[in-house]
Amino acid sequence: MAIGAMAKLYFSYAAMNAGKSTLLLQASYNYRERGMRTLLLTSSLYAEEGKGVIRSRLGVESEAELFTATDDLFKVIRAQNAAAGVHCVLIDEAQFLTHDQVWQIARVADRLNIPVMAFGLRTDFQGKLFPGSSELLAIADVLREIRTICHCGAKATMVVRQGADGRVLLEGDQVSIEKTIYLSLCRRHWEEATGRWPTH
């Protein structure tokens, strides 16, 4: 980072299966290859046997610290930086950050001068913004959409949740970590799949 340059808060968002975790792990690798330390964080909702793991669909993975909705991430990151130095913070499943936590990671960039890269979904299966994503879209310095495609070839911006019988689910909790199938669709096919708009 150039002298006098300020760190930034980045938010990279997409629908499901766009490669968000792959890009996060690649960014971490690039830092570490240059002898810099990265701090990886992921939601405790996806803990595996009590441990944090960020895993891409390509089979690449890395251990990560877990965060819960009650953690003060500014304090967590400040302590990690004081103990061993942190050159970049990378957050997976950033849609699960709370409003306050988004401001906490913004303070990491503003006051500790450590860049923070957050990766997550923009909207849920009902087409509504996740709280963390809403706040990130409002205050992040840099926004980047990671593109994936619908089955029709158009850009996918929405997701649907399917039950075990293959039917599209229209109701339920915003957060579901059960064995559920999610499909990424363009807006037109999401409307048709959910019945939000007539198909004729």
- Contact at 8 Å (CB) between 105 and 97? yes
Domain carrying residue 134: 9-147
What is the Cβ-side half-sphere exposure of residue 65, based on CA atoms within 13 angstroms?
Answer: 14
Residue given tokens 């760190």 in the structure block: 7
**Is 168 part of a structural domain of the chain?**
no
Distance CA 100, CA 69 (A): 9
* 173 found inside a domain: no
Q: Counting Cβ atoms within 10 Å, is residue 31 exposed (0-12), middle (13-18) or buried (19+)?
A: middle
Distance CA 135, CA 38 (A): 23
**Is 180 among the domain residues?**
no
Total domains in the chain come to 1
Beta-carbon contacts of residue 160 (< 8 Å; ≥ 6 apart): 125, 168, 169, 182, 183, 185, 190, 193, 194
CATH number of domain containing 61 = 3.40.50.300
Question: Catalytic amino acids?
Answer: 93
Which DSSP symbol is given to 194?
H
- Residue 153, beta-bridge partner list: none
Provide the residue type at 89 as one letter. Answer: V
Q: Per-residue pLDDT averaged across 9-24, rounded?
A: 90
pTM of the model: 0.84
Q: Is residue 125 part of a domain?
A: yes
Residues 33-91 pLDDT 10s: 999 999 999 999 878 888 999 988 888 899 999 999 999 999 999 999 999 999 999 99
The answer to the question of residue 55 being in a domain is yes
Q: What is the pLDDT of residue 2?
A: 45
Would residue 196 count as lying in a domain? no
Q: What is the pLDDT of residues 131-166, one digit of tens each?
A: 999 999 999 999 999 888 888 999 888 888 776 666
Which one has a higher pLDDT value, 158 or 25?
Answer: 25
**135, part of any domain:** yes
Q: What percent of the chain has pLDDT over 70?
A: 86
| Element holding 183 (H helix, E strand) | strand 181-185
* pLDDT for position 3: 47
Residue 81 located in a structural domain: yes
Q: What is the DSSP letter of 45?
A: G
Q: According to the model, what pLDDT value does residue 28 have?
A: 96
Q: Answer whether residue 93 shows pLDDT above 90.
A: yes
